[in-house]
Amino acid sequence: MPTDVDQVDPAQTVVTPELERDAERAQARRGLLIAAPSWLYLTLFFAIPLVIVFVYSFASRSSTGLTVLENWNLHSYRRLFDPLVAEIAFRSFVLAVATTLICLIASYPLAYYMATRPPRYRNILIILVMIPFWSNFLVRTYAWRVLLGSDGPISQISQALGGEPIRILFTNTAVLIGLVYGFLPFMVLPLFAALDRMDWSLIEAGRDLYANGRRAFLKITLPLSMPGVIAGSILVFIPTLGAYVTPAILGGARTTLLGDYIVSQFLSARNQPFGSALSVAVMSIMLLATVIYFRRGARTL
């Protein structure tokens, strides 16, 4: 009974259940071997750090701001319900929802337009969306700081037209603009993917059955593009909820969001247990959203 299947000439082998089982085992061994290095890496540099954050969230903090890994408690989690924290969380949530909705409304016509173009033209449009998608996020956000500045182009144009100088930098509006700008391509691409896969003859069938354009859209196109809507919404909602770069550049002191609040717990307030608890909370919301995604709109991206 040969144990190593590789050494058997397949032409002379009669497949028996034992041989098949051995082959399966050898296959599993090889798979594990190939996966092992990255598995080890991700365990050490991802899974363990994840566990550490979780553990730290129950730790206590000394009067000097050091984390003490004893006296385990739920103090940090209780603080999540403080009015200040609730206000920041609420503001982040509202901004994330607003960003997602604006991106959805702006992206849908574009994705529809792209999906209904002839292939050659469509490819050019895809590239036009891909380029900002992969371009440096920090720089794209910075561009808005230049545009919205008190002596920036928008303000200058407004003044040249006899209007007031624009003062929206460091407000929630500026952060919202920056977030929509930053994450818009994340919405366009999954929407386009869903519309592109759609069987357009269904619309023709609908029209043949005397559905008008609006009815055909509401009853056929929109439901069929729902996986793309869900995927895009989650791809925009998750990063905006934890956004740090955009509020840091375009927001002010009174526009703290969850992302910069978490960062400040580590870099200035020196309260690691509370920062960890906040991270765990954000992560839980994100995981929940992802589970919804995989249940409802899987395999659109």
Partner 1 sequence: MSQGTLTTARAEGALASLSWLVFAFLYAPIVVLAVLSFNENNNVGIWTNFSFKWYGEMFQNAAVMNALKNSLIVAVVSTSVSTVLGTATAVALERFRFRGQRVYDGLVYLPIIIPDVTMAVMMLLFFAQAFRMISGLGPHLNFGLSTISLSHIAFSISFVAVVVRAKLGQLDPALDEAAADLYAGRWMAFRKVTLPLIAPAVAGGALLALTISLDDVVVTSFVAGPGSTTLPVYVFGLVRRGVTPLINAVSVVMLTASMVLVAISLVFQRDRGAKTSTAEE
Least distance in angstroms from the C-beta of 186 to partner 1: 12
Binding to partner 1 by residue 80, rule CB under 8 A?
Answer: no
| Close Cβ partners of 249 (under 8 Å, ≥ 6 residues apart) | 138, 141, 142, 144, 145, 178
Q: Are 216 and 285 in contact (CB under 8 A)?
A: no
* Interface with partner 1 (CB under 8 A), residue from 227, 228, 232, 275: 275
Identity of the residue, 47 or 222, whose beta carbon is nearer to partner 1 in the bound complex: 47
**Looking at 28-36, 71-79, 81-89, 222-230, which segment touches partner 1 (CB under 8 A)?**
28-36
Give CA angle at 239 (236, 241), nearest 5°.
Answer: 100
For the chain, what is the radius of gyration of the CA atoms? 26
In angstroms, the CA 107 to CA 113 distance is: 10
Binding to partner 1 by residue 84, rule CB under 8 A?
Answer: no
Identity of the residue, 173 or 290, whose beta carbon is nearer to partner 1 in the bound complex: 290
Binding to partner 1 by residue 184, rule CB under 8 A?
Answer: yes
Binding to partner 1 by residue 73, rule CB under 8 A?
Answer: no
Paired with 67 in beta bridges are 61
Binding to partner 1 by residue 203, rule CB under 8 A?
Answer: yes
* Interface with partner 1 (CB under 8 A), residue from 114, 189, 229, 231: 114
Least distance in angstroms from the C-beta of 274 to partner 1: 11
**Looking at 72-80, 91-99, 222-230, 271-279, which segment touches partner 1 (CB under 8 A)?**
271-279
**Looking at 49-57, 71-79, 85-93, 225-233, which segment touches partner 1 (CB under 8 A)?**
49-57
Binding to partner 1 by residue 77, rule CB under 8 A?
Answer: no
Collapse the DSSP code of 20 into the 3-class scheme (helix H, G, I; strand E, B; otherwise coil) and give the result: helix
What 242-249 contacts at long range (C-beta under 8 Å, 24+ apart), as own/partner pairs, is: 242/282, 242/286, 243/179, 243/182, 245/137, 245/138, 245/141, 246/141, 246/175, 246/178, 246/179, 246/182, 247/175, 249/138, 249/141, 249/142, 249/144, 249/145, 249/178
**Touching partner 1, residues 223-242 (CB under 8 A):** 238-239, 241-242
